[in-house]
Structure 1
Amino acid sequence: MEDRSDFNRNEQVLRSIGLDVIDSYDEELEQEIDDMRLGDASVLEALGIDDDAPEGELGRRTYFRELLRLQGELVKLQDWVQRSGEKVVVIFEGRDSAGKGGVIKRITQRLNPRVCRVAALPAPNDRERTQWYFQRYVTHLPAGGEIVLFDRSWYNRAGVERVMGFCDEDQYEEFFRSVPEFERMLVRSGIRLIKYWFSITDDEQEARFLARIHDPLKQWKLSPMDVESRRRWEAYTKAKEVMLERTHIPEAPWWVVQAVDKKKARLNCISHLLGQIPYEAIPYPEVRLPPRVYNPDYIRNPVPDDMYVPERY
C-alpha cells in the first residue's frame, strides 16, 4: 500500500508539472499580448485568462497586468540608464530550479539587448583557473549606459565550488576576505550593485526536479551537477547561510526573494529592483514617418524562384 507521504509527494509533483505547463503557455502569451488587449474582456476570455485562483495564490489576469505594467517601467529604467550613463549590475543567485532564469527572462523580454544583457558564465577553463578569481567576471561588467544581469556570479565560489569541493579551504577563505572589498570597489567606481537570493523549500525543489525529469522539453535543464545538489541539500543550506552572513554589506546588501510561487517571485523581484534605482521617464520627441519617396524610373529586380524558402505551411 502506498505510503501517505509518497502520495503527498506524487500529488505535489503532479501539481508542479501542471503549473509548469501553464507557465510555459503563459510565457508565449506574454510575448503576444499588450495592455490594450488585456483590457478587452472578450480577448481575455478567449485566451482563458481569468483571476480564478486558490486563496493566497495570484490570479493569471492580475499577473499579466502587473507584469506588463512593470515591464513598461523597465523600459523607462532602460532609457534612463542609457541617457544618464549609469552602470547597473544585478546578481541572481539561488538553488537550482529556484526561478532565477524565469525572472531574468521577464526582465529582458522587452528590453534592448544592447543596453541590458545577461552574463551566464560556464565553468572556468584551465587558463581561467590560473587567473585572479574575479578576473573573468570583470570583463562582463557594464560600461556607462548598460545593465548586466548575472545569472550566477562570483558567488559560485561560496556555493557550488564549496559544496562540490572545487576549491580548497584557503581559496574559500580568501574569497570571503576579498569579495567585500571587491564589491565596495565596484560601488565606488559608480556601479549600482544589487544582489538577489531566490529561496525555495526542499519539497518545492524536489517537485520541480521531478517535473523536469518527466518533461522531455525541460530535461536539458537538469544537469548531473543539479542532480547531485539534491543529495547535498543541507550542505548547500549551510554554504548559503555562511555566504549571506559574510557578504551582506551596507554597500551591497543581499535581498531574499521568496520563490516557491514563481509568478509572485517575478513580480516581487522586478518591483523591488525598480525601487532600488531612482530612474525617471525620459521625454522623447514625437516620431513622425516621412512621406515615402516614389521614383518613376525605379524597377525592382526579380528574385529567382529557387532562392525562396519553400512554403510548406
Structure 2
Amino acid sequence: MRVPLEGLPERVTIYEVGPRDGLQNEKAIVPVADKAEFVVRLADAGLRTIETTSFVHPRWVPQLADAGELLDALSRSPHLRYPVLVPNERGLDRALDHGVAEIAVFASATESFARRNLNRTLDESLAMFAPVVERARAEGLWVRAYVSMVCGDPWEGDVPIEQVVSVATRMMDMGCSQLSLGDTIGVGTPGQVTALIEAMVAAGVGTGRLAVHFHDTYGQALANTLAALRAGVTTVDASAGGIGGCPYAESATGNLATEDLVWMLDGLGVETGVDLAKLAATSRWMAGRLGRPSPSRVVQALSPGD
C-alpha cells in the first residue's frame, strides 16, 4: 500500500553502485561477461545511472582490472549513464580512452582514512584530485565527488560536521557537479544526517547537488536515507542486492540494498522508475554467481521457495 508522507520529493534518482562498489571487494574474480550482463540487467530493471567500474591500478583492486574491457562490452545509450571512478590522472587517461562521459573522484573527510586509503595526507589527496577534475571538465565530462567517513572514522571516532563541510566544499570548489556524502562505516543516525545536510546547504552546496551513500552496518541506512530525503536530497546511492562490504568495521553489512530502498520509496509513493521484481531477480542471479545469498531483506522476502 502506498501511503505518502509530507515533505518528501516526488521522485528520487537512484545512483546504482553495485557493479563498482559492490563487486570491488569480491575475492573471486567475476568474469567480465557476468559483469556486463549485470549492468544490462540493472538497466532493464529501470536503473538509469549505473557506476560500472573504476580505473584504479589492478594491483590495488584486481577485481576491476577489466575496467576497459567491461566498458567496451557495453552498448551506449543516451538514456543510460555509466560513470566510472578514477583515482588519478592516469586513471582519467584510461577513462577518456574508453569514451567515458562521467567520472567520480573519491576523497576522505579524515586524515587517517586518507593516509590508509590513498597513502597521502588529506591535503595531498585533494591536491592530486584538482588537476583530474580540471582536465575532466575541460574534456566536457560530468564529475562527481565522493567524500567518505562523513559520520565517523574507525581510527578517529566521531567526525565533526565542520570538518566534513571543509573537505566537501574544497572538492566542489574544484568544479565537481555533485557531491556524495558517504557514511562509510555506517555509524550515522538521522539527526546527524540532517545536521550535516543543513550545514552543507549553509556552506553554499544546495541539496540539488548532493547525494547520500549509506552503509547499513548498524541498521540505520534506510532511516538515514529518509532523513536525507526530508532534508531535500533527491539522489541516493545504493547497491543491487546489498552487495559490497566495509573492510573497516567488524560485522559491517555493506551498502544499502537498492531493493530495500525501492520498497520503501514505492510505499511512500516516491517514483524511481525501477521495476522491483526485475531488480530482485537480477540480484538473485548475481548472488548465484557470487555463491551466496543476497543480504537484501527485500530480495530474501521476494525469493520464491525460501
**Larger helix fraction of residues:** 1
After TM superposition, the score normalised by the length of structure 1 is 0.30
- Report 1 or 2 for greater relative contact order, CA contacts < 8 Å, sequence distance ≥ 6: 1
After TM superposition, the score normalised by the length of structure 2 is 0.31
Computing the radius of gyration from Cα coordinates, the structure with the larger value is 1
